């Protein structure tokens, strides 16, 4: 389901901050992102298990970024593949021809998943004040 309500944004924040502890986002940050990106929540029954972000192509570009996040207790069950497939379809519907993703380097499961899905690393960067790099990957 799309993260539309305040409660949804809080759930999205929980998943993001649990998986990306080096770049904690405030609720205000997420409200702002929700105006530019497509934020989606994933549940197993009533249990929150993950979220997605689709950063649509900006004017003059055909590149979108898709990010699928699955909380650690729910990894290895195919949920990441489902979330990625959903986010990829959203990106394509928004006009994306080139698909990228970004994974925190300290998330080996996420990097392995991205590589198995056909993504190839093209950049690494560290946010100011951090030590763990983000890895940018592009779908081959």
Question: What distance in Å separates the CA atoms of residue 68 and residue 94, rounded to the nearest whole number?
Answer: 17
Query: How many domains does the chain divide into?
Result: 1
Model pLDDT for residues 54-110, shown as the tens digit of each residue: 999 999 999 999 999 999 999 999 999 999 999 999 999 999 999 999 999 998 989
Answer whether residue 130 is part of any domain.
Answer: yes
Which among 44, 72, 48, 67 is positioned nearest to 56, based on CA atoms?
67
Q: Are the C-beta atoms of residues 37 and 31 closer than 8 Å to each other?
A: no
Q: Which domain holds residue 80?
A: 6-139
Answer whether residue 107 is part of any domain.
Answer: yes
Answer whether residue 1 is part of any domain.
Answer: no
Domain of residue 20, CATH code: 3.40.630.30
Answer whether residue 51 is part of any domain.
Answer: yes
User: Is residue 22 pLDDT above 90, yes or no?
Assistant: no
């Amino acid at each position: 389901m799309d993260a539309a309500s305040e409660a949804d944004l809080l759930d999205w924040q929980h998943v993001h901050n649990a998986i990306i502890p080096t770049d904690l986002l405030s609720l205000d940050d997420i409200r702002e992102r929700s105006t530019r990106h497509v934020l989606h929540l994933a549940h197993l029954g009533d249990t929150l298990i993950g979220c997605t972000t689709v950063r649509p192509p900006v004017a003059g570009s055909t590149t979108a970024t898709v990010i699928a996040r699955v909380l650690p207790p729910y990894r290895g069950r195919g949920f990441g593949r489902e979330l990625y497939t959903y986010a990829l379809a959203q990106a394509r519907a928004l006009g994306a021809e080139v698909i990228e993703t970004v994974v925190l380097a300290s998330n080996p499961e996420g990097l392995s998943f991205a590589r198995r899905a056909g993504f190839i690393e093209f950049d690494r960067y560290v946010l100011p004040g951090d030590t763990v790099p983000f890895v940018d990957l592009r779908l081959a």
